Amino acid sequence: MEHPDVETARLQELYARRVARQGTAPGCPTPEAILALVRREGGEHERLATLEHVMSCAACHREYEWLQAVDEAAVEAGGEPAGVMRPAWWRGAWPACSRACSGRGPIGYAAR
Amino acid sequence: MASPPDSLSPALERVLERFGGVVRRVCWKYQFRGAEVDELMQEVRIRLWRAHAGHEGASENLAAIPASYLQRTALSAAIDLLRRGRARRADRMVPVDDEAEGIGQSPAPDQVLAESETAEQVERAIQSIHASRRPVVRMHLMGHSREEIAGLLGWTEAKTRNLLYRGLTDVRERLLAEGVQWNTRT
């Protein structure tokens, strides 16, 4: 556990309050881009750009925390941890899953 | 009208009970309590139901559902909830974080103004530092630990520490150059 010095703690306080006051910063990334950040997917350049916005926009920060929480729960329940290289079929399974889960397509997975 | 009894419900409930317990515990840690978690679990329930109802051996399939499938279902549902939330926010201006302004005694207006000006100077100082250091500095100032930053970006502890401390030093130097100082004693 880190114990920030008083100066850093004051900076954190000032910064966090400013972000909260501002609410939403312009140019919010899509929820999928925030998920890619959480799941460590895609290029580092894009993820850093998303991260910079998320950490300066209260609305996106809340969304980031939400996806982080859901992903952490899913990983704890046996799902795949972030940053694991997956074959293309897994990544391609997103839309199929989305369709299936919305009831607009086939189930789209094989039980292991 | 009551729903007709079916054979899928018990299997679905078992899956949701197991998964829901973990989701609620982790979400509690992140301060998501109540409605948003209930809404997520309801979305997951609907998606699993739609994907399995009417299929042969649906109960068996649900009982053997892979964790990775449940993960994709939950994340896909979480994304949809975010989209709906954004649409609602666009319809009506809602303060994002009411807690941020604090509860109880309000500070004096001149204190609020001074703090707001200092906060703007902090923002300008961050904007002026090297682009590679900005995201980690912002993340740290939002209260995330160095370990969390390293984990999220897949960086080593050394690289994260280096970029963060250089970035914070730059910010402090720029603030000092602008004459921003505060009492560092508790």
Report domain extents, chain B: 8-91, 112-177
Distance of CA A98 to the CA centre of its chain: 17
Do the Cβ atoms of A55 and B138 come within 8 Å? yes
Average pLDDT score over residue span B52-61: 86
Q: Do A21 and B101 touch (CB under 8 A)?
A: yes
- Tell which residue, A38, A70, A39, has the closest CA to residue B25: A70
Mean pLDDT of B81-102: 71
The continuous run of DSSP H or E covering A47 comes out as helix A44-54
Task: Report helix, strand and coil shares of chain B as percent, to nearest 5.
Answer: 70, 0, 30
Instruction: Share the mean pLDDT of chain B.
Output: 86
Instruction: Determine whether A59 is exposed, middle or buried from the number of CB atoms within 10 Å of its CB (0-12, 13-18, 19+).
Output: buried
pLDDT reading at B142 higher than 70: yes
Nearest to B32 among A8, A69, A76 (CB): A69
CATH level 3 topology of B112-177: Arc Repressor Mutant, subunit A (1.10.10)
Residues 110-129 of B with CB under 8 A from A: 115-116, 118-120, 122-123, 126
Cβ contacts below 8 Å, chain A against chain B, sum to 199
CA B171 to chain centre: 26
- Chain A: give the shortest CA distance to residue B125, in Å: 11
CA distance, residue A34 to nearest chain B CA (Å): 9
B2-11, B26-35, B109-118, B135-144: which has the minimum mean pLDDT?
A: B2-11
Q: Say whether A69 and B29 touch across the interface (CB within 8 A).
A: yes
Summarised one tens digit per residue, pLDDT across range A29-79 is 999 999 999 999 999 999 999 999 999 999 999 999 999 999 999 999 999
What pLDDT shows up at residue B104?
Answer: 52
CA-based nearest distance B94→chain A, Å: 9
> What distance in Å separates residue A76's CA from the closest CA in chain B?
7
Confidence (pLDDT) at B50:
92
> CB distance B141–A17 less than 8 Å?
no
Decide: pTM greater than 0.90.
no
Give the helix ranges, DSSP H, for B30-156. Answer: 35-52, 58-63, 67-91, 109-128, 134-141, 146-153
In the predicted model, what is the mean pLDDT of residues B116-130? Answer: 93
Kindly list the residues from chain B whose CB atom is less than 8 angstroms away from the CB atom of residue A40: 152-154
Question: Which of B:26-65 have CB within 8 Å of A?
Answer: 26-27, 29-32, 36, 40, 47-48, 50-52, 55, 61, 64-65
Nearest chain B CA: its distance from A43 CA (Å): 11
The single residue listed with the structure tokens 């051996």 is B57
